[in-house]
Amino acid sequence: MEPVDPASFQLPHTEKIEWMIETDGWAFEPVLPDASATPPVPAHGYTIGVGDLCGFPEIFVAGLTPVAARGLVGLVVDALRGGTDIPVDAELVGLLDNDLRCRFALMSTDAVQQWCPTAVMWAHGATPTVVQLLYPDRNGFLPYEVGFDQRMRAAQPVIGEVAG
């Protein structure tokens, strides 16, 4: 039997998601940025299977590399699996390192269908509940706050609905 060249190995997309869910209990779908789109689409990613695994909405995050986004979401999923109660639409302190604040903002059905198509497909066309994980800039401001670094606004647009 000849060895398989890892560079040429391709796993069909649905099998990749199935494998991640079987292995970790959930999957992460990274999406590369598209600067040619109007408006430009930032790098982003979202979970598939977190709702079934933890009873928490699927999680969407924008503006990070796929590895960083997967790591951040993995931290959240581990906290949920460990019994941490994470509220939606409330600022949290203590989930992220250095007591940085974050917020989970509920995304509308239209936003979920636009930004999380594989999650919708995986739910057999139903629209899963998804929250956007909003994290602070280097100065500690969240993206919906006045002091947020304007250079980061395109990388982390506020897609979820922030009350107040």
Per-residue pLDDT tens for 7-41?
655 667 777 877 777 888 899 999 999 989 888 89
Q: Evaluate whether residue 160 is within a structural domain.
A: no
Q: Evaluate whether residue 158 is within a structural domain.
A: no
Q: Evaluate whether residue 147 is within a structural domain.
A: yes
Q: Evaluate whether residue 114 is within a structural domain.
A: yes
- Residue 120: the pLDDT is 93
Decide if pLDDT at 156 tops 80. yes
Parallel, antiparallel, or unpaired: how do β-strands 101-106 and 44-48 relate?
Answer: unpaired
Name the band, by pLDDT with cuts 50, 70 and 90, for residue 92: very high
- Residue 6: the pLDDT is 61
Name the band, by pLDDT with cuts 50, 70 and 90, for residue 3: low
Closest CA to 30 of 15, 18, 48: 48
Q: Evaluate whether residue 164 is within a structural domain.
A: no
Decide if pLDDT at 151 tops 90. no
Decide if pLDDT at 1 tops 80. no
Number of structural domains in the chain: 1
Residue range(s) defining the domain that contains residue 106: 9-152
Q: Evaluate whether residue 46 is within a structural domain.
A: yes
pTM, entire model: 0.89
Q: What percent of the chain has pLDDT over 70?
A: 92
Residue 162: C-alpha distances to residues 30, 67, 97, 133 (Å): 24, 26, 22, 11
Closest CA to 104 of 91, 119, 115, 95: 91
